[in-house]
Amino acid sequence: MSKGIILKNAKVFISSELEEVDLFIKGNKIVSKVDCDGDDIEVVDLKGLTVLPGLIDTQVHFRDPGLTHKEDIKSGSLSALAGGITGYFEMPNTVPATTSAEALKSKLDTARNSSWTNYAFFMGASAENADSIDKLEQEAGCSGVKIFMGSSTGSLLVHQEEILDKILSKVKRRFSVHSESEALLLKRQKLIFNKGMDLEYDVKLHPKWRNVDVAMESTRQIMALAKKHKAKLHLLHVSTKDEMEYLKSHKTPEMSVEVTPQHLTLASPECYEAFGTYAQMNPPIRTKEHREGLWKAINTGIVDIIGSDHAPHTEEEKKRPYPKSPSGIPGVQTTLPLLLHHMAEGRISLNKIVELMCLNPSKLFNIQGQGEIKIGREANLTILDLEKEEVIKKSWLTSRVGWSPFEGLKIKGFPVMTMVQGRIAYNNGEIIGEPAGEAYSF
């Protein structure tokens, strides 16, 4: 006789509706009542709570290997778990960079023993692996190819047209792009930091250096190449209303778009006045006008995915004078609370949150067994208390760096329980059992 679980008395998100139904779970799968008959049953009463399909964060930087003083797979995935995220795609700009099958296997081996949630890893594109990128993207546990067109954290960079053209002629899966023009970044660096990069500057210069033109030029270029090769382009952390307006008339069905909760919540110059270099990220936080352009793009269907771009640095590193301070904000744990905060404000619906963080990640990246609550799907579930009021506190944050620009923000609606692979791994602040996430299949 095997063990089964019944989740009772909750409102369950099924086919775009909240239904009061019991969920039956056996092993790591959602099953019918009949499949649980005769089992030793654990009954979990979720009265007053809401059950969603497990949320997936398709852009995190867990810094493992090589930069684990900032984060590692265990601490980063625990942040995901506490924030109601049941799985993630991790970025390749580690040390060494993930540009080979061997580097990918090493990450998978680490995650197998230490990830609290499900996982997959991007393969970084480079001039050196461009000829074999079509084979590398097919490796088990790979979420696709990531291209950095502009310099950011780490050494990965591909901005030459001929190399980009070669990569796009080969990739078959959806590929993800950090879209900033390296040529314009270098040109504007000389203008903005004309007295030398070793001096201290005001961090408010960050969005002036990495301005709208830097984003637009790169986005036009990669969209044209994607159209040429009929490639499946995924634009990461789009930050300007100009890009969204361009996408409105130029986006094809093969293309997809991500925004981050930081760009939807913060605005320049206020964020730099309040948080200084702690608000510094690439592409930068921009003005309220751009923030409103992103919200408009969500409401008109241009945006397909919300990803955290969780990019932790230590407080010591972030306190360095600009521009020596590194770019990046931790966010995998605060993404869902921020979206619930905006839901309480009337800016986004629960249906849209599920679409952008459950359905679309699963559909666009072809993840097997995820995205919906249905018989036969994996029992990865995000459980909310939509009436709970909570303040984001330092003591709640589990990332190794231990800070967030959103500390002190009062939230209405909060993740209270996370189920991974059919077991409750997090419940109201209590971490249960051992890491047991599994690699996504595509």
CB atoms within 10 A of CB 398: 21
Helices (H), 233-306: 241-250, 261-265, 270-275, 288-299
Strands 11-14 and 17-20: antiparallel
**DSSP per-residue string spanning 194-251:** TT-TTS---GGGHHHHT-HHHHHHHHHHHHHHHHHHT--EEE-S---HHHHHHHHHH-
pTM of the complete model beyond 0.75: yes
pLDDT of residue 3: 77
Listed as own residue / partner, the contacts of 120-123 with beta carbons closer than 8 Å and 24 or more positions apart are: 120/87, 120/88, 120/89, 120/90, 120/367, 120/439, 120/440, 120/442, 121/89, 121/90, 121/92, 122/89, 122/90, 122/91, 122/92, 122/98, 122/146, 122/176, 123/92, 123/98, 123/99
Please state, in angstroms and rounded to a whole number, the distance separating the CA atoms of residues 441 and 41: 29
Contacts of 353 (CB under 8 A, 6+ apart): 52, 306, 336, 339, 340, 343
pLDDT of residue 153: 59
pLDDT in tens, the chain (442 residues): 457 899 999 999 999 999 999 999 999 999 988 777 777 889 999 999 999 999 999 999 999 999 999 999 999 999 999 999 999 999 999 999 999 999 999 999 999 999 999 999 999 999 999 999 999 999 999 999 999 998 765 568 999 999 999 999 999 999 999 999 999 999 999 999 988 888 999 999 999 999 999 999 999 999 999 999 999 999 999 999 999 999 999 999 999 999 999 999 999 999 999 999 999 999 999 999 999 999 999 999 999 999 999 999 999 999 999 999 999 999 999 999 999 999 999 999 999 999 999 999 999 999 999 999 999 999 999 999 999 999 999 999 999 999 999 999 999 999 999 999 999 999 999 999 999 999 999 9
Q: 89: closest CA among 105, 73, 103, 100?
A: 73
Please state, in angstroms and rounded to a whole number, the distance separating the CA atoms of residues 99 and 341: 38
pLDDT of residue 334: 98
88 SS3 class:
strand
Contacts of 343 (CB under 8 A, 6+ apart): 349, 350, 353, 413
> Which domains are assigned to the chain?
3-51+373-431 (2.30.40.10), 55-364 (3.20.20.140)
Q: Which residues of 358-387 are buried (b: 16+ CB within 10 A; e: fewer)?
A: bbbbbebbebebbbbbeeebbbbbbbbbbe
Token representation of residue 185: 């970044």
Residue that is written with structure tokens 């309040």 in the block: 274
Angle at 257 between CA 174 and CA 403, to 5 degrees: 105
